[in-house]
Amino acid sequence: MTPSAGDGPAAQHASMSTDASDLSMATSEPTSFWADVWRRFKRNRLAMVGLGLIVLIVLLAVFAEVITKYNPGTIDPIHKRESPSLKHWFGTDQLGRDMFSRVIFGARVSLRVGIFATAIATVIGVVLGSLAGYYGGWIDGLIMRITDIFLAFPYILAALAIIAVIGTGERTVILVLGLLGWLAIARVLRSTILQIKETEYIDAARALGCSDFRIITRHILPNAIQPVIVYATLFTGSAVLSEAALSFLGVGIQDPTPAWGLMVARGKNFLSVSPHLLFFPGAAIFLMVMAFVFVGDGLRDALDPRLK
């Protein structure tokens, strides 16, 4: 842009600045989609706080043997229900076990449950949601009716009923939570695929003779996976909370495994005399769930720039 002779110095300066800005934008290298997502994610302070908490919890769980000096299962009847001190940072429980060690090792249990239950739920939800959204017809109707049947039962009550039949334990909890957690993922993915499959590039892929499997995996899922990532992150926190609820009710993970929900259940009986038995595992549950909620909300905003 060339300024006219009648333009003043201010107009010429503004024009030159605009030209320089346009030139800078034209010569800068385009950033990838995930680089843009990370840039928007970093702007969300709560999301970064949540990510930091998750990293901290993972590090504590991985290096639990190094961080703690007591075995979480060692019983010491002489030092039962001691208050927090320099010797026992979180005090001891009703059997004399070190609460700090049990909370740190309990992070491993909660992370395993959250991650593996989310993996099972995501795989089932992606497969069924893709089939329902892409093929439609009776396949869509069948899958959605199965989803409606599962949604008709309260989540915890359905988990209680299944665990009562097949037994308790960590693996059982992971399996049950995974088998009951795919509903939202399948429904969201289905609705996204219903929009994408009508686009021109999908019609072009069909015209080129691409198989349905290739179209779904190479052309549809990469463009429909963003909401699945958000729901999977949120479900991880939900699975941790559900495991704690099942353990609290006595049908989840059993002693002597250091599960946070089980520690809360045992500690509520001593709330008036030893509140630390309930406070520390309860605070750990709260922090982990909130961390995944913050990260999930941050991913939702980062993956959809229209929500800025």
Question: CATH assignment of 36-307?
Answer: 1.10.3720.10
Q: Is the pLDDT of residue 253 over 80?
A: yes
- In angstroms, the CA 262 to CA 269 distance is 12
Angle, in degrees to the nearest 10, between helices 226-248 and 183-196:
170
Mention every residue, 6+ apart, whose C-beta is less than 8 A from residue 46: 294, 297, 298
The β-bridge partners of 98 are 92
Q: Is the pLDDT of residue 252 over 90?
A: no
The predicted structure's pLDDT at residue 30: 56
List the one residue out of 123, 146, 142 whose CA is nearest residue 235: 123
10 Å CB burial of residue 113 (0-12, 13-18, 19+) is buried
- pLDDT band of residue 10 (cuts 50, 70, 90) is very low
- pLDDT band of residue 206 (cuts 50, 70, 90) is confident
What's the token pair of residue 268? Answer: 């509520």
Q: How far is CA 236 from CA 136, 148, 271, in A?
A: 29, 22, 29
Provide the H-helix boundaries in the chain: 9-27, 33-42, 45-62, 64-67, 99-135, 137-151, 155-166, 170-180, 183-196, 200-207, 212-214, 221-224, 226-248, 260-267, 276-303
The β-bridge partners of 92 are 98
- In angstroms, the CA 154 to CA 248 distance is 17
In the chain, what are the domain boundaries? 36-307
User: What is the percent of the chain with per-residue pLDDT over 70, rounded to a whole number?
Assistant: 88
pLDDT (tens digit per residue) in 124-165? 999 999 999 999 889 989 999 999 888 888 888 888 888 888
Which amino acid type is present at position 290? M
pTM for the whole thing?
A: 0.83
